[in-house]
Structure 1
Amino acid sequence: MAHLPPSYLGKKVFLEKNSQRYYVIKYEEFKPPRKIHVLLFDHDVPAIFAVMDKDGKFLDSFFLSNKTTEDSAKAMERYREIAERKKKHKVTQDDLHDALKPEGEAKKKNENIMKYLKDEHLEDIKHQWPSRLIALQNADGKSSQSLIMIALTEAIKEANPIKSFDFLAKHRLDDYIPFLANHVQEHPELVEKVSVAYISIENGDILSEFLARAADYVDVNNREAVESILQESYKIDHVHYTSMMKHLLSRLLQRVKEETALTNKEWLSKTISNKELRRSIADILRSQTSS
């Protein structure tokens, strides 16, 4: 069972109590098994390199103007590479400020702002870069329906779904994981990836929502995807004592009835090869028949 590291992008760090001055984490890189390398910014300038643990405790930190280490040099090199690419984007500071607002409040002086935001998300997803847009949203965003997040939703519809998953998980954008469910038909391996990462998070609720959506999207004749969906729901039931598999099985069988000419027995025989899963399904069907 995997344990996702947290993301601290956008976190404001005050060096002194009762001080109004703070630095913002705008770059982070997880270093297994427990460390996170971060750059803290003074406005748009990287000022501090720090090493944190997964619980957010600072293990080491120093001003970049005073010291350089191999780790800080690597972080700065990677940040500069990303920053150079960002210069090519046509997003101004005014655009970024506007992007924090929801659709109804944004001025959208730049008529192409949604395209530019989506393109930046797509580039970050492709390269698995720590996102300045998500850092900005986490630091100063007041609406979960900001232009930044709307553009993210559009971007993950177009991006490679495996890379989208990795990006969302790294940034701990957990609420967006279920949106990947409509890609399960072409990428059944997503089911296990999401399960491994999220079965222990929020009592399995994110995984459950993902599987429920996947059960609605997937072709009922896609043996690999369907079996994987039921297999992972079986795991949820055993970890969190739910009845997720019963719910999804009922939904899938209803779709089989509506979309195919197969009987339940024919479909199950054709679709489910895992013996333990077959026995569990048989138990569910018997209990429904006897009740």
Structure 2
Amino acid sequence: MPALPPSFLGKKVYLDGQNSRYYVLKYEEIQGGKKIHALLFEREAPVIFAVLDHNGQFLDSFFLSNKTTVDSSKAMERYKKIAERKSHHKVTQDDLKDALKPEKDAKMKNDNIIKHLIDEHLEDIKHQWPSRLIALQNADGKADNSLIMTTLKQAIKEANALKSFKFILNHRIDSYIPLLAEHINDHPQLIQEISAYYLSHDYAKIMSQFVFNATQYISIENAETIESLLTEAQKIDRVNYSSVFKQALVKLLKRVKVETNMPTKTWLGETIRNHSLKKDIVDILKKTR
């Protein structure tokens, strides 16, 4: 199965060994899944255009001061539009350095830094822009709970879930996929889209966690969505010989007991129509008696 398509945002490229001058890849565009067009920066200025393959190997690169191509011009044009928009943000370079720290360690000189970071994440998600914040985190971040990453979680809660899904994939922050479970009732199509993507890449762990999270948020009155969720859990088990289906079912039945006056057997009878699901559920219930 194919590997997950990479993101190289934040990658440091050294000219002559690890201790020499380096450039940071802060802008990338996926080109049909095979190539990546990228801009490498010296501090805050783009200075190199590069073409990378999916392994991160450079197929071509040149200094923008020496050469221009159609592809480099397009990349620079799109980057400048984003940069112009970012110039209106109220996040300073000092704020960005502070954002690499957990909230308890941050200086927080800007009282509104959390709001500004969330707003920038939301804008990046809306427009599907390469995130300078995630590039900074990848390049220099040492804390997984930095302000950058904690505000990203909040932004994912607020943003359109379908756009967040694509944004997470493009930036290869796959561990944030389970956060999308909170949106499952408004966007039930996420179940099949996330499952199709990760199972096609033989990466069931992320989908399994999404399923478990979804059992907390899914409406127990929505039979169609529940069947969809359990069907994908069933697929995971058949490929990986796991027990995701059983665990998800148990979590749902516990909610039924707590949230309704309906016997679980009655709820199952009214909710599950799929014969394959029914058979597996009967087998599970027999073994748990």
Aligned ranges for residues 115-134 of structure 1 at < 5 Å?
115-134=115-134
Deviations 1:243-280 (A, max 9, x none): 11011111112222222233334322322233322322
Gaps of 5+ in 2: none
Aligned ranges for residues 82-161 of structure 1 at < 5 Å?
82-161=82-161
Residue of structure 2 in register with 1:259 after alignment: 259
Further displaced range: 271-280 or 162-171: 271-280
Give the AA of the match of 1:261: N
Q: Secondary structure at the match of 1:56?
A: coil
Is residue 286 of structure 2 the alignment partner of residue 286 of structure 1?
A: yes
Residue of structure 2 in register with 1:169 after alignment: 169
Count of residues in correspondence between the two structures: 289
Q: Secondary structure at the match of 1:234?
A: helix
CA contact (8 A) 2:2 2:201 kept: no
Deviations 1:67-114 (A, max 9, x none): 222211111111011001000101111111111111111111111111
Mapped partners of 2:33, 2:167: distance in 1: 18
Q: CA 1:93–1:268 in 2, change beyond 3 Å: closer, same or farther?
A: same
Mapped partners of 2:203, 2:30: distance in 1: 24
Q: CA 1:88–1:69 in 2, change beyond 3 Å: closer, same or farther?
A: same
1:202 shift after superposition: 8.0
CA contact (8 A) 2:182 2:214 kept: yes
Residue of structure 1 in register with 2:240 after alignment: 240
Mapped partners of 1:163, 1:284: distance in 2: 37
Further displaced range: 122-131 or 252-261: 252-261
Give the AA of the match of 1:141: G
Give the AA of the match of 1:191: I
Q: Secondary structure at the match of 2:103?
A: coil
Mapped partners of 1:51, 1:240: distance in 2: 37
Mapped partners of 1:18, 1:153: distance in 2: 33
1:41 shift after superposition: 0.8
Q: Secondary structure at the match of 1:101?
A: coil
Deviations 1:5-31 (A, max 9, x none): 111100001122255211101001111
CA contact (8 A) 1:4 1:197 kept: no
Further displaced range: 147-156 or 257-266: 257-266
TM-score after normalising by structure 2: 0.94
Give the AA of the match of 1:39: L
TM-score after normalising by structure 1: 0.93
Further displaced range: 114-123 or 162-171: 162-171
Deviations 1:99-151 (A, max 9, x none): 11111111111111111111000100100100000000110111111111121
Is residue 6 of structure 2 the alignment partner of residue 6 of structure 1?
A: yes
1:161 shift after superposition: 1.1
Taking only the aligned residue pairs, the percentage that are identical comes to 59
Further displaced range: 168-177 or 134-143: 168-177
Residue of structure 2 in register with 1:215 after alignment: 215
Is residue 250 of structure 2 the alignment partner of residue 250 of structure 1?
A: yes
* Root-mean-square deviation over aligned CA pairs: 1.8
Deviations 1:142-177 (A, max 9, x none): 111111112111111111111111111111111211
Gaps of 5+ in 1: none
Further displaced range: 176-185 or 15-24: 15-24
Mapped partners of 2:176, 2:76: distance in 1: 29
